[in-house]
Amino acid sequence: MSGLKRVSEKALREEIVEAALSMSRSGLTVGRSGNVSCRFKDGMLITPSGKRYEETKPDDIVFVAGDGSVPKGQGKPSTEWHFHLAAYHARPDRHAVVHTHSTHATVLACAHKPIPAFHYMVAVAGGKDIPCVPYATFGTEELAAHVAAGLKDRDACLMANHGQIAIGPSLAHALELAIEVEALAEQYYKVLCTGAGHILSDAEMLQVAEKFKSYGKNTEAGPTDK
């Protein structure tokens, strides 16, 4: 992982708590829904199961090894740890995952509607659309497989009858993308209400996606573990 900023486990735990709080305060999720993780060692650090973000401390963050095992002496990881781990296996170039039940993204997910190229900003997720992967029961390997497929060449996807997931080189990037996906979902929902949407061509979206690859390159890459 050369070229990436290395930070301590303590700092990563603090960053996960702050990202989870930001996710909640921004309205991307309510109550105990949603979860946040960051790549660490051969696995990841992830928010615990069933704990309010306002009550979550850095020591509550759970380490899940690359094989899915959880060392003794920790609490339970988020029930969605399967698809977080699957995302890291599918995308070794990404180091953070943010999952939310944000309102408009969830509305579209419940309608099984991907977000097409109605606006050029859709390319911020890495391609011509933001796909919607098939439904599977939460916390299952089946859902993890769907998410891994959806994120193979995208940085975000919707999950049918569930919500959205965004990945990035850092937690800041993943959280920012989750916010953008929700904004796009709200815009697309309103476009659908007009019945007059127009979709940009694949060629145009490819061009925009290429331009986005160099956009913001002055920002620092995401952290990794020591």
pLDDT band at 197 (very low <50, low <70, confident <90, very high): confident
Residue 43 has pLDDT above 90, yes or no: yes
Q: Kindly state the average pLDDT of the residues 88-92.
A: 97
Phi then psi for residue 64, to 5 deg, are: -115, 125
For residues 132-153, average pLDDT: 97
Mean pLDDT, range 73-94, rounded to an integer: 96
Mean local confidence (pLDDT), 148-162: 97
Residue 196 pLDDT level (bands cut at 50, 70, 90): confident
Structural domain span for residue 16 = 5-224
pLDDT surpasses 50 at 224: no
State the pLDDT at residue 180.
97
Provide the number of structural domains found in the chain: 1
Q: What is the pLDDT of residue 33?
A: 85
Residue 111 predicted with pLDDT over 70 = yes
Question: Is residue 222 over pLDDT 50?
Answer: no
pLDDT band at 102 (very low <50, low <70, confident <90, very high): very high
Q: Token match 């606006």: residue?
A: 119
21-35, 83-97, 151-165: least confidently modelled range = 21-35
Cite the beta strand spans of 104-184 per DSSP E: 132-133, 156-159, 163-168
The question of whether 80 is a catalytic residue gets the answer yes
- Rounded CA separation 83/148 (Å): 7
The Cα 178–Cα 158 span in angstroms is 11
* Residue 174's CATH number: 3.40.225.10
Secondary structure of 165-203 in the HEC alphabet? EEEECCHHHHHHHHHHHHHHHHHHHHHHHHCCCCCCCHH
Of 15, 54, 55, 80, which is the active-site residue? 80
Residues 28, 25: Cα–Cα separation, whole Å = 8
Residue of 49, 54, 61 whose CA lies nearest to 25: 54
For residues 219 and 195, which has the higher predicted lDDT (pLDDT)?
195
The pTM is what?
Answer: 0.91
Task: Supply the pLDDT for residue 195.
Answer: 87
Contact 96, 120 (CB under 8 A): no
How does residue 100 score in pLDDT terms, banded at 50, 70 and 90?
very high
Question: Distance between the two ends of the chain, CA-based, in angstroms?
Answer: 10
Alpha-carbon separation of residue 64 from 67, 68, 162, 182, 206 (angstroms): 8, 6, 23, 28, 36
| Token couple for 62 | 């759970």
The pLDDT, as a whole number, for residue 31 is 75
- Count other Cβ atoms within 10 Å, centred on residue 58: 16
Say what the pLDDT of residue 221 is.
46
**Triad 169, 62, 88: Cα angle to 5°:** 35
